Structure 1
């Protein structure tokens, strides 16, 4: 379902659907690991897809502009990409580098002194994940 909707959004945004764009959308479908451009590139190369890293990077930029994928900047080393466009935050483990979705965040915008019209938000949490905490003990 994600693939068809994503490619349709790409077309509606004025972009052509090329094979590399299709492959990258397929790689992101159902992917909750928030992969980096290099991880997507490596995954596709393992599946005998041949194109350059620049193609992956530029395609991800196009997908972000078309509203098909979110660029997540929680990892200090690189950008990550999330196909889940719903409002949610992210948790970054500073030990293992994993990125997890955080859905149970509530913001009461009415209780702030903010007078501007809010269109969205990004919430990034940092710390040590449960798995890494358990390993340390």
Structure 2
């Protein structure tokens, strides 16, 4: 986190767990990983830290269809794909086709005026590991 942020040791610890994660952890997973490091914070502290980090745009909150939000320290424009079999989440950097916005506008009667790269799309499928089972 930059020096401009108002951060506490707890926020810094939460941020580091998410930044070092190879996956997209839930709040409970962040809590478990902090405990593994010998850091015990109250649930409220974890949730408040996550909310602060999302609001300050240090991390992304992902709502991928399951009940728990997941968190991502990669704040670059990208999308996600989730495996319907094992729950694995991968990042997608492919651009969405421009004509897709026109189709969305036509189907919904919305005036879509934001560039494609500001949208977050979540796709579902079956990962290669699960296809081989």
SS at match of 1:59: helix
Pair 1:110–1:129, CA change in 2 (3 A) = closer
Aligned length, in residue pairs: 125
- 4+ runs deviating over 3 angstroms: 113-116
Contact map agreement 2:101 2:112 (CA 8 A) in 1: no
1:54 and 2:52 matched: no
Change (3 A) 1:131 1:55: same
Give the TM-score of the pair, scaled to structure 1: 0.81
The match for 2:19 among 29, 37, 41 is 29
- Report what 1:66 is aligned to: 56
Q: Secondary structure at the match of 1:29?
A: helix
Q: Unaligned stretches of 5+ in structure 1?
A: 1-5
Q: What is the root-mean-square deviation in Å for CA atoms of aligned residues?
A: 2.0
